[in-house]
């Protein structure tokens, strides 16, 4: 096979950041994705409809000339979020709300403490048909970092799903067999996104031979048995799993320091990375569903009408990309050779 043509895909989970960084991150995503669910963990976070609309305008201003890329906005849930906030967000066109347990990831200090206190908000979200996007990890210091996803499922996710049977829930960037099994066994209102790093790597790629900061993300990479479980589940073509890069850019110097930031900047080669995985799994026929159909169907949005084409061509992910102010960033899989390349960017 020398080329793959897919219905134009979407990214159902990524971080653009803000300010000057948008001139790098928005075109990187818009080159191959028609839409993307935009994470709200800015400083300060996007907690209401007005802030979401202002952030959307900044993203749209950073699109390449002629691009039709659509950012799909989200609210950052806090302990101060109200049902009225949800109604106003729905009226303003906000797509979903994001639940971060406090301290779970980058810029999550303002996030939720005591998840049960948000149950009235979840009820309103179900009423408004607004999906709940969950970073599914507990943050208690005594719980091993490699166990935090499993403990979150047992402690919080099972009760949420049981209490709100009409609420659409996306278990974001799952990393374990436990999460994959939970989603498979749950009702059809529960789905999950999976990142390229959790399909391509395991914790050996983070820790063996020295810590590799550009492979450090949260949730952290897990053992190879969990990686294999994720690879197996996407190879089945199950409609409960879809593309979400969790692309999370950071300047090189912020990753390569004594307390490096969590996040992999995968947008730069995202669709090619997923093609690499699906070819390794002998499942290229399942890539279109994962990248272009399952997410739209879950969110109740129309599937994209256009197509993209990947051609078989070896190329190397660059060691760095440079922001307008000259700051370098290291893209995910820098220096690795990929076998598929986008034929041309979306206009």
Residue 315's beta-bridge partner residues? 338
Any known ligand binding at 246? yes
Any known ligand binding at 218? yes
Any known ligand binding at 13? yes
pLDDT digits (tens, 9 = 90+) for 238-268: 999 999 999 999 999 999 998 789 999 999 9
Any known ligand binding at 17? yes
- How far is the C-alpha of 153 from the C-alpha of 158, rounded, in Å? 6
Cα–Cα nearest to 334, from 234, 256, 242? 256
pLDDT digits (tens, 9 = 90+) for 43-77: 999 999 999 999 999 999 999 999 999 999 999 99
246 is catalytic: yes
Instruction: Kindly indicate the confidence band of residue 324, based on its pLDDT and cuts at 50, 70 and 90.
Output: confident
Q: What is the CATH number of the domain that holds 279?
A: 3.20.20.140
The rounded mean pLDDT for the chain is 95
- How far is the C-alpha of 339 from the C-alpha of 43, rounded, in Å? 38
The pTM of this model reads: 0.96
Q: Are the beta carbons of 345 and 32 closer than 8 angstroms?
A: yes
Any known ligand binding at 146? no
Query: How does strand 328-329 pair with strand 241-243?
Result: unpaired
Residues 221-240, mean pLDDT to the nearest whole number: 98
Residue 300 CB neighbour total at 10 angstroms: 9
Any known ligand binding at 297? no
Residue 223 CB neighbour total at 10 angstroms: 13
- How far is the C-alpha of 235 from the C-alpha of 101, rounded, in Å? 30
Residue 112 has pLDDT above 80, yes or no: no
List 11, 85, 178, 246, catalytic entry: 246
Instruction: Kindly indicate the confidence band of residue 108, based on its pLDDT and cuts at 50, 70 and 90.
Output: low
**Burial class, 3, CB count within 10 angstroms (exposed 0-12 / middle 13-18 / buried 19+):** exposed
pLDDT digits (tens, 9 = 90+) for 153-185: 999 999 999 999 999 999 999 999 999 999 999
pLDDT value for 109: 58
pLDDT value for 104: 53
Residue 96's beta-bridge partner residues? 74
| Counted domains in the chain | 1
Show the domain range for 229.
3-343
Any known ligand binding at 129? no
Any known ligand binding at 156? no
């Amino acid at each position: 096979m020398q080329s793959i043509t897919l219905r134009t895909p979407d990214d159902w989970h990524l971080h653009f950041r803000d300010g000057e960084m948008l001139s790098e991150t928005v075109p990187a995503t818009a080159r191959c994705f028609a839409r993307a669910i935009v994470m709200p963990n800015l400083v300060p976070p996007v907690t209401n409809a007005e802030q979401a609309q202002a952030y959307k305008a900044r993203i749209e201003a950073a699109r390449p000339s002629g691009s039709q890329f659509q950012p799909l906005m989200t609210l950052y849930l806090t302990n101060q979020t109200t049902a009225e906030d949800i109604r106003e967000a729905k009226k303003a066109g906000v797509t979903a709300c994001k639940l971060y347990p406090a301290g779970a990831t980058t810029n999550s200090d303002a996030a939720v403490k005591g998840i049960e206190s948000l149950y009235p908000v979840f009820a309103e979200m179900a009423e408004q048909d607004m999906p709940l996007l969950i970073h599914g990890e507990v943050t208690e210091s005594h719980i091993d970092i490699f166990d935090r996803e499993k403990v979150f499922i047992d402690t919080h996710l099972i009760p949420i799903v049981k209490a709100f049977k009409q609420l659409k829930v996306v278990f974001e960037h799952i990393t374990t067999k436990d999460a994959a099994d939970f989603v498979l066994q749950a009702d059809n209102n529960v789905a999950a996104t999976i990142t390229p790093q959790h399909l391509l790597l395991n914790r050996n790629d983070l820790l063996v031979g020295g810590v590799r900061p550009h492979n450090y993300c949260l949730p952290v990479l897990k053992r190879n048995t969990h990686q294999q479980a994720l690879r197996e589940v996407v190879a089945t073509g199950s409609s409960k799993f879809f593309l979400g890069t969790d692309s999370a850019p950071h300047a090189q110097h912020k990753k390569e320091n004594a307390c490096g930031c969590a996040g992999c900047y995968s947008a730069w080669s995202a669709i090619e990375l997923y093609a690499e995985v699906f070819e390794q799994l002998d499942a290229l026929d399942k890539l279109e569903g994962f990248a272009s159909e399952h997410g739209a169907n879950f969110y109740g949005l129309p599937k994209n009408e256009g197509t993209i084409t990947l051609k078989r061509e070896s190329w190397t992910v660059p060691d760095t990309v440079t922001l307008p102010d000259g700051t370098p960033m290291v893209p995910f899989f820098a220096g690795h050779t990929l076998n598929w390349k986008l034929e041309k960017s979306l206009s």
